[in-house]
Structure 1
Amino acid sequence: MTSLYAAASGFVILAQEHKLGTNNLQQWITDNIVPLLLLSIAVILLWIGGRGDNAGVARRSVGLVVGLVALGIALSGQASEVGKFFASLIVG
């Protein structure tokens, strides 16, 4: 029973020594998942364009650009500044 307590207290000390967060996961997603997602979208658009559906490619590209803008704002951490800028365009 004492060894169980000692092991549990060791985990508590370990958790207190290291700050826990999601920064490493966010960096991994930014470095690996985002380029893979962009590559797959490009391949899909080329495949659709190869079938001759140019209007479909244009529709999907507009949605893609809007999505990339949202992703860029989210990854930059400047969402509040972008929101203030757009609000200033409307309010003055």
Structure 2
Amino acid sequence: MLAQDLNTRGLQGWIQDNVIPLVLLGIAIILLWIGGRGDNAGVARRSVGLIVGLIALGIAVSGNGPQIGTFLAKLITG
């Protein structure tokens, strides 16, 4: 096998198929547990951080980082 044949598509596919749904399930259970104790402000605070983290994970996994960065830069520069 040559070094040019190496890629991460298999690992990337496995992560998308297995790890991400399990992480999302774990996050949902934790948020429901915290909400059940009556700490709604804590759930809201953690949810915002989780959403930002999931967006970053989605950008990293999709491989569209440069296009998204260009789009965001055009929003600022016009």
Corresponding residue to 2:61 among 68, 75, 84: 75
| Unpaired segments ≥5 residues, structure 2 | none
Output one character per residue of 1:3-40: Cα deviation in whole Å (capped at 9) or x when no partner.
Answer: xxxxxxxxxxxx34xx3332211211111011000000
- Provide the C-alpha distance between the structure 2 equivalents of 1:62 and 1:29, rounded to a whole number of angstroms: 23
Unaligned runs of 5+ in 1: 1-14
**TM-score w.r.t. length of structure 1:** 0.76
* CA RMSD after TM alignment: 1.1
Aligned pairs, number: 76
Distance 1:71 1:21 in 2: 19
Letter in 1 for 2:53: G
TM-score, normalising length from structure 2? 0.89
Q: Which runs of 4+ in 1 moved over 6 A?
A: none
**Larger RCO of the pair (alpha carbons < 8 Å, separation 6+):** 2
Is 1:49 the equivalent of 2:35? yes
Aligned position for 1:11: none
Query: Which entry has the higher C-alpha Rg, 1 or 2?
Result: 1
AA of the residue aligned to 1:38 = L
For the pair 1:84 / 2:64, whether they are aligned, the reply is no
